[in-house]
């Protein structure tokens, strides 16, 4: 199974040392929106969408405070839909979009793939779309799904995967793509596991923000840690799932590569052929 690694939104907040853990306090940091484009037996599948064309055309919908804090590049060439075209595909070739969650920097490109089935955990949909229960004020950008996408839902049930309870995200047509519940950052947050040959790639979304959080002695840049805590809907659950990911890396690192959504180190390790 071929996996393309895409950065669908570069963010450049101030304070590189406090965000990336290297460089100067006065340099701009670099964060990415790491998405996967997967060639499956049922067309293309996209894991997360990053920032979309609609966000770039009307950046105010992302929220002035969020734009000011994260300083996104807002380059149309970085959007998933333009990168799909650059790889020689049509946007209509993307049959499935699998979302780790519905935060603005993960679901912005949903309208750019109007023919795709949008896969999301039911708890995430209930809060973000139905507002049952009501989400924190300003958490979601509802305009990113105002066109009425074709939703497909998952709950916490399914086969076992390295001790996690997984779901066959694309059904029997593609048993090697699993949605793994990893709640905490949001209540319906999930990781997406993809098998390629004898190994797995787990896109863990925002379950952790910095690669050193999965080290035996975890560490985290100060400001990035603040952003992570501020974004937690259930901090205890996020910490517990992060510990499970740390154990997965320790016990099965030869069979499972784990990456997150925003760390450029994780992203570059995939781009350089580490997986």
- 118-135 pLDDT per residue, tens: 999 999 999 999 999 999
Integer CA distances (angstroms), 175 to 171, 247, 266, in order: 6, 24, 25
pLDDT value at residue 42: 86
Task: State both tokens at 118.
Answer: 């949008």
85 touches 27 (CB < 8 A): no
Task: Give 140: exposed, middle or buried? Use CB within 10 Å, 0-12, 13-18, 19+.
Answer: buried
Which is it for the CA torsion 244, 230, 32, 35, positive or negative?
positive
Is the full-model pTM beyond 0.85? yes
d(CA 28, CA 50): 20
Residue 69 backbone class (left: φ over 0; alpha: ψ -120 to 50; beta: rest): alpha
Asked if the bond preceding 213 is cis, omega within 30° of 0, the reply is: no
Rounded Cα distance between 168 and 40, Å, is: 13
Dihedral, 216, 156, 121, 34 alpha carbons, nearest 10? 20
Q: Which residues of the chain fall below pLDDT 50?
A: 274-275
What gap in Å lies between CA 160 and CA 178, rounded to an integer?
Answer: 10
Q: How far is 213 from 220, CA to CA, in rounded Å? A: 6
Looking at residue 275, what is its pLDDT?
45
Q: What pLDDT is recorded for position 166?
A: 82
């Amino acid at each position: 199974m071929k996996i393309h690694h895409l950065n669908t939104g570069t963010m450049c907040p101030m304070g590189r040392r406090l965000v990336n853990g290297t460089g100067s306090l006065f340099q701009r940091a670099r964060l990415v929106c790491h998405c996967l484009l997967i060639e499956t037996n049922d067309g293309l599948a996209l894991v997360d969408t990053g920032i979309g064309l609609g966000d770039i055309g009307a950046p105010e919908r992302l929220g002035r405070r969020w734009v000011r804090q994260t300083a996104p590049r807002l380059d149309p060439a970085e959007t998933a839909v333009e990168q799909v075209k650059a790889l020689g595909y049509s946007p209509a070739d993307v049959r499935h979009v699998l979302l780790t969650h519905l935060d603005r920097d993960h679901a912005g490109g949903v309208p750019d793939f109007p023919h795709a089935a949008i896969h999301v955990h039911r708890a995430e949909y209930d809060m973000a779309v139905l507002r049952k229960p009501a989400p924190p004020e300003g958490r979601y950008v509802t305009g990113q799904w105002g066109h009425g996408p074709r939703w497909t839902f998952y709950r916490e049930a399914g086969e076992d995967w390295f001790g996690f309870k997984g779901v066959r995200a694309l059904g029997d047509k593609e048993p090697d793509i699993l949605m793994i519940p990893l709640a905490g950052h949001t209540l319906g947050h999930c990781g997406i596991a993809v098998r390629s040959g004898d190994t797995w790639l787990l896109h863990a979304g925002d379950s952790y923000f910095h690669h050193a959080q999965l080290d035996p002695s975890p560490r985290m840049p100060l400001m990035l840690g603040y952003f992570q805590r501020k974004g937690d809907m259930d901090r205890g659950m996020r910490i517990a799932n992060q510990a499970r990911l740390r154990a997965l890396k320790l016990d099965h690192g030869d069979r499972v590569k784990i990456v997150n959504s925003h760390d450029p180190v994780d992203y570059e390790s995939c781009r350089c052929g580490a997986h």
